[in-house]
Amino acid sequence: MELWIQPCAACADLYGRPSSVEPHDTLAPGTPDTASPNQHYVCGRCSAVFTRVLSGRQAGQIWMLLNAGQH
């Protein structure tokens, strides 16, 4: 399935990393999610949208790329 946007190199590198890793230079904080403590970031280069998961299981606390599924 062609779900994924084409992330820039920095985003491709960040995806799946632990959320303790600092965001790279092109990531800007996105709209806060009031329903969760997770942070959202948007890449100024490739428009990737990340959730920095800061809650839940330790193993789930990673950088997730959200805008898979956009057309």
Pick the closer one to Zn ion by CB: 9 or 54. 9
Cβ distance to Zn ion smaller for residue 37 or 44: 44
DSSP label at residue 14: H
β-pair partners for 40: 51
- Is 58 in contact with 16 (CB distance < 8 Å)? no
Quote the tokens at residue 48: 């990737």
Among positions 2-61, residues that touch Zn ion (CB under 5 A) are: 8, 11, 43, 45-46, 48
Total number of residues binding Zn ion (CB under 5 A)?
6
Q: List contacts with Zn ion (CB under 5 A).
A: 8, 11, 43, 45-46, 48
